Amino acid sequence: TVGDVSYKCVLDTNGKLRYRTIPAKEASTKICRVMGKTTIKGAKTQVHLHDGRNLLFNENPEYKTGDSLVISLPDQKVKSYHKFEEGSIAYLTGGNHIGELATVRGQDIKRSSKANEVQFDDFGTISDYVFIISDESDIPMGDKS
């Protein structure tokens, strides 16, 4: 936030970081991808997020690796979450289709050190590049630069 104007940093289709204006109410939330879960002492569950945050829960939450959480800032409470499943809308953060939105059509789980693959209508990519969002308005695309 600069003055009265709030911004969100997004990737454009060239892989460059761009600042897009957003409504003030959206400035208090952030979308984070679940990278993993760990059970810690005291039967608590720690959820690891893509940006280095760790959230602690008394009960095992239903979040799975690849799901996205919408957290409120600065208190870091989970407001909502989006499952990584067929039909979900994905924002791509790497590969040839960086900065694009696509609908998930399937996932190919590899039982090896290879990255899991996600299939879309016309292409596929690895799951590390996929960010699940609720709808296209979550990412302020602005002009296609």
The CATH code of the domain that includes 97 is 2.30.30
Give the structural domain span for 37: 28-82
SS3 state of residue 97: coil
pLDDT value of residue 26: 84
Task: Tell me: pLDDT of 37 over 90.
Answer: yes
Strand partners, 73: none
Q: Is residue 16 one of the residues assigned to a domain?
A: no
At 112-128, the pLDDT tens digits run 999 999 999 999 999 99
20 within a domain of the structure (yes/no): no
Q: Is the pLDDT of residue 137 over 80?
A: no
User: Model-level pTM?
Assistant: 0.85
Q: Which of 31, 37, 27, 32 is nearest to 4 (CA)?
A: 27
For residue 130, CA distances in Å to 35, 99, 124, 142 come to 12, 10, 10, 20
Q: How many CB atoms lie within 10 A of CB 32?
A: 22
CATH of the domain at 75: 2.40.50.740
Query: Which pLDDT value is given to residue 143?
Result: 56
